[in-house]
Amino acid sequence: MSSQVRIGIIGGSGLYQMPELTDIEEISIDTPFGKPSDAFIIGTLENERVAFLPRHGVGHRFTPTEVPFRANIYAMKLLGVERILSASAVGSLQEQYAPLDMVIPDQFFDRTRARARESTFFGDGIVAHVSFAHPVCGALGDVLESSCKAVNVNVHRGGTYVCMEGPAFSTVAESNVYRAWGMHIIGMTNLQEAKLAREA
């Protein structure tokens, strides 16, 4: 069994704990960007040490705009995390994506307005430009897809996740526009995590 934490899991709305973890410890971390959403739960799953973090905090304390994205990803990096699985509840913009289906998007479209500072570690004299053309790890997507199929979960591979500001859901007119643009699912959180994880 590996003692190093290499896998991070971020739980979205409704996923505030992972009862499958064993040999757990709780770790609170401070970062230059403040405190993460909550304490990390470090535990063992299938002989791997993983770090679990509830994105909105236990009890759902943070709106999508208030989530401390930079602190969350920075803390994951401090723990040694190399790969992140980020789960979130989303809305479907395509009829074939049914409730409870798993979607592994391969693209993002940014419609957030108030999170520019929480979307990058760079700035304040530190300048870099990271490629984000392919924002999702294909190898991790392969593992997730095969795992879904192994337990008979309907899974869709590929598609575009449009990230809106929230916390209100989109209007019918907005959803119709996103659908016409070819978007597949709509959510409020995963884009910032993907950008920051790529930078980290």
CATH value at residue 67: 3.40.50.1580
Contact 55, 10 (CB under 8 A): yes
Looking at the predicted structure, is the pLDDT value of residue 3 above 80? no
pLDDT of res. 13? 87
Instruction: Give me the mean pLDDT over the 53-69 stretch.
Output: 95
Give the angle subtended at the CA of 84 by the CAs of 81 and 88, to the nearest 5°: 145
Looking at the predicted structure, is the pLDDT value of residue 62 above 60? yes
Confidence of residue 17 (pLDDT cuts 50, 70, 90): confident
* Distance separating alpha carbons of residues 73 and 118, to the nearest angstrom: 11
Looking at the predicted structure, is the pLDDT value of residue 101 above 90? yes
Instruction: Give me the mean pLDDT over the 163-175 stretch.
Output: 96
Instruction: Give me the mean pLDDT over the 189-197 stretch.
Output: 96
**184 burial via Cβ count (<10 Å: 0-12, 13-18, 19+):** buried
Count Cβ atoms below 10 Å from residue 9 Cβ, excluding itself: 22
What predicted TM-score, i.e. pTM, was given to this entire model? 0.94
The contacts of residue 96 (CB under 8 Å, 6+ apart) are 156
User: Three-state DSSP class for 178?
Assistant: helix
Domain count, the chain: 1
Looking at the predicted structure, is the pLDDT value of residue 2 above 70? no
* Distance separating alpha carbons of residues 40 and 36, to the nearest angstrom: 9
Domain boundaries, position 154: 5-199
Looking at the predicted structure, is the pLDDT value of residue 115 above 90? no
